[in-house]
Structure 1
Amino acid sequence: MTGLTVPAQDRIGLRKLTEGAPERRERSRGPAQTPGRRVARVAMYIALIIAAIGLLLPFFWMIMSSLKSPNEVFSVPVKWFPETFIWANYVDIWTETNMLVWIRNTLLLAVVVTFLQVLTGSFAAYGFARMRFPGRDVLFLVYIGTIAVPWQSYMIPQFILLSNIKVSNTLWAIILIQAFGAFGVFLMKQFYETIPEELSEAARLDGLSEYGIWRRIMLPLSIPALASLTLLTFVGTWNDYLGPLIYLRNPDLWTIQLGLKSFVSNLYDTNYALLFAGLVISIIPIALIFLAGQKYFVEGIATSGMKG
């Protein structure tokens, strides 16, 4: 059997490559972990674990309370686990209340408001980021400045206006006051400015309109920012309490927040176990949506603060 002969130059190069491999491996591992760094890392992990426990503890107590009897919820000393798990609380919350109606109204409002805010926010942001017109920067500053104006300062004239156009005590009132948001415009504009202008210029040379550029180029490249805006808007609308409290007086129009508040008539006549079961149900959609889009949410928030 004839062996293969390796040329001398190749043998020298192979020897140098082999000799330098351990050094490259050491460099790739980064700086050596000193005892002080190990202690600091362990301390950081312990602090993060403690913070996570402190954050999740109220949720754990809420879930456990939803499986207790009404008298066990605020017992002294605190009982973290119920003596008997009462799963019937999750059945009673559906049979004894209008939970299905509340969830339907809340879901309808959250979906419609989120769609409109994403649509109007992304479209207006494209105009501020890519269009050139007199007074653009001043108009943008004025529009973004409305974020600093508290809603409580103008909710009374807003209520009078919506009452005059006969939409008070309807779901349309909540949709109209939340369909537009300055924060969504700001978030999307910051993200649009990270997209190279050359893409838009090439599309214009190909005959694409501004609307086509927004729809075919900007939106597909802005999935992280769109996901962030969708999540923030959906959560804000789902958890909104003051708006529905002011405008929705008919019990058939109540959202889940108003419905759960109706449990608390007074301190001594409230089935808190049933209330906590409703609270657990109310956070399930938010938890699922956040888990599904957390990667895009973090990426969108991180990149929207970059420019250039």
Structure 2
Amino acid sequence: MSAVTVKGSRETRAVTRRWAPARAVSVALRYAALIAVLGFAVFPFVWTLAIALTDKTRGGSIYDFPASLLPKGVTFANFVSVYQTFQLGQYLWNSVSITLMTVVGTLVISALAAYPLARFRFPGRNLIFGAIVATLVLPSETNFIVNTLTLKHLNLLGTHLGVVIPTVAGAFGIFLMRQAFLSVPTALVEAARIDGAGELTILTRIMLPLTRPSLTALGIFTLVTTWNAYFWPMVVLSAAPDKVPLSVAVLKLKGQFNYDPFNIAAGAVIMMLPVLLIFLAAQRQFMRGMEGAVK
């Protein structure tokens, strides 16, 4: 028996030694792929930040000859120039106003629409949910003409509400919250109903607290997409240039007869920084919420 055991252990060590180099190569390739993806994701931001911090009087940028990725001198003068020549405060407030209304509206409507789809039993429930999910494959641009004509009849063109209303009832938010509500044990809901709790009480006191990670994930996702949105706010607010968000207004730094890439880069960094910091601070909640959506 001992001889068989010794022989088996020797064969196991031999197999381990044989596969060790292959496993090392596999791990190395995985890390190389991850580093490459990280480089593609981070490089544009780092490059933009380097241009924004470049001292134009000393050179050392991609626009000089010979070109350089690193500036010879670091300065915040470009940010000061943007602040002095640009209505930065007004455009930032426009972005905050539009984003805040969109995030709150999306969370409320998604939760109210997802709860009956997850917990009620009625004819056509799956058909309705399937139709909602099917809209995810359609590009958002297909709705622009219809939404614009509707807003025109409602006299909402040129207003922040006109930007917000068509975007708060998104299929992704309804899908995410429905999956989160399905993960809540049915026994809790039934116990609350036996105790006399209404559906609104169950939603606000049981379902929403237990699905907070999904709410956080949806809020962060909506915040990032709304803050960075360009085409739809530009269409709705084309007649009201003072109401455009920062994502649209930053292109005003590119004048008709002058082009200053350093100021444009500084404006882009100012636009990206708030959502980047928020995402970094709440990335754990975001990942937990997204994991719950695919269970």
User: When the two structures are superposed, what TM-score results if normalisation uses the length of structure 2?
Assistant: 0.87
Q: Residue 154 of structure 1: which of 121, 137, 143 is its match? A: 143
Q: Distance in 1 between matches of 2:224 and 2:184?
A: 27
Q: Distance in 2 between matches of 1:295 and 1:222?
A: 14
What code does the residue aligned with 1:98 have?
Q
Q: Distance in 1 between matches of 2:207 and 2:260?
A: 51
Provide the residue aligned with 1:261 in structure 2.
Answer: 251
Question: How far is the alpha carbon of 1:35 from its aligned partner?
Answer: 4.3
Secondary structure in structure 1 of the residue aligned to 2:157: coil
Provide the residue aligned with 1:7 in structure 2.
Answer: none
CA distances 1:162-219 after superposition (whole Å, capped 9, x unpaired): 1121111111101111121111001111111121111101111111111111111110
Provide the residue aligned with 1:251 in structure 2.
Answer: 241
Provide the residue aligned with 1:53 in structure 2.
Answer: 39
Contact 1:73 1:273 in 2 (8 A): no
Establish whether residue 191 from structure 1 lines up as the match of residue 180 from structure 2: yes
Name stretches of at least 5 consecutive residues in structure 2 with no aligned partner: 1-15
Q: Distance in 2 between matches of 1:224 and 1:80?
A: 40
Could you say which structure has the larger radius of gyration? Answer: 1
Secondary structure in structure 1 of the residue aligned to 2:282: helix
Contact 1:228 1:301 in 2 (8 A): yes
Q: Distance in 2 between matches of 1:177 and 1:53?
A: 36
Q: List aligned pairs for 1:25-64, cutoff 5 A.
A: 34-64=20-50
Name stretches of at least 5 consecutive residues in structure 1 with no aligned partner: 1-30
Secondary structure in structure 2 of the residue aligned to 1:262: helix
CA distances 1:132-178 after superposition (whole Å, capped 9, x unpaired): 22222222222222223333223223212211211111111011111
Provide the residue aligned with 1:164 in structure 2.
Answer: 153
Q: Residue 67 of structure 1: which of 53, 60, 83 is its match? A: 53
Provide the residue aligned with 2:206 in structure 1.
Answer: 217
Provide the residue aligned with 1:17 in structure 2.
Answer: none
Secondary structure in structure 1 of the residue aligned to 2:253: coil
Contact 1:73 1:272 in 2 (8 A): no
Provide the residue aligned with 2:7 in structure 1.
Answer: none
Question: How far is the alpha carbon of 1:73 from its aligned partner?
Answer: 4.6
Q: List aligned pairs for 1:1-308, cutoff 5 A.
A: 34-68=20-54, 69=56, 72-248=61-237, 249-265=239-255, 269-306=258-295
User: When the two structures are superposed, what TM-score results if normalisation uses the length of structure 1?
Assistant: 0.83
CA distances 1:270-296 after superposition (whole Å, capped 9, x unpaired): 111011001111111111111121111
What code does the residue aligned with 1:222 have?
T
Contact 2:144 2:232 in 1 (8 A): no
Please state which structure has a larger fraction of its residues in helix. Answer: 2
Question: How far is the alpha carbon of 1:43 from its aligned partner?
Answer: 4.0
Contact 2:50 2:69 in 1 (8 A): yes
Secondary structure in structure 2 of the residue aligned to 1:154: helix
Q: Identity rate of aligned residues, in percent? A: 30
Question: How far is the alpha carbon of 1:42 from its aligned partner?
Answer: 3.8
Q: Distance in 1 between matches of 2:135 and 2:28?
A: 45
Contact 2:136 2:171 in 1 (8 A): yes
Secondary structure in structure 2 of the residue aligned to 1:34: helix
Question: How far is the alpha carbon of 1:245 from its aligned partner?
Answer: 0.9
Q: Distance in 1 between matches of 2:154 and 2:102?
A: 20
Contact 1:191 1:305 in 2 (8 A): no
Q: Distance in 2 between matches of 1:247 and 1:137?
A: 34
Q: Distance in 2 between matches of 1:143 and 1:181?
A: 9
Q: Distance in 2 between matches of 1:105 and 1:245?
A: 13
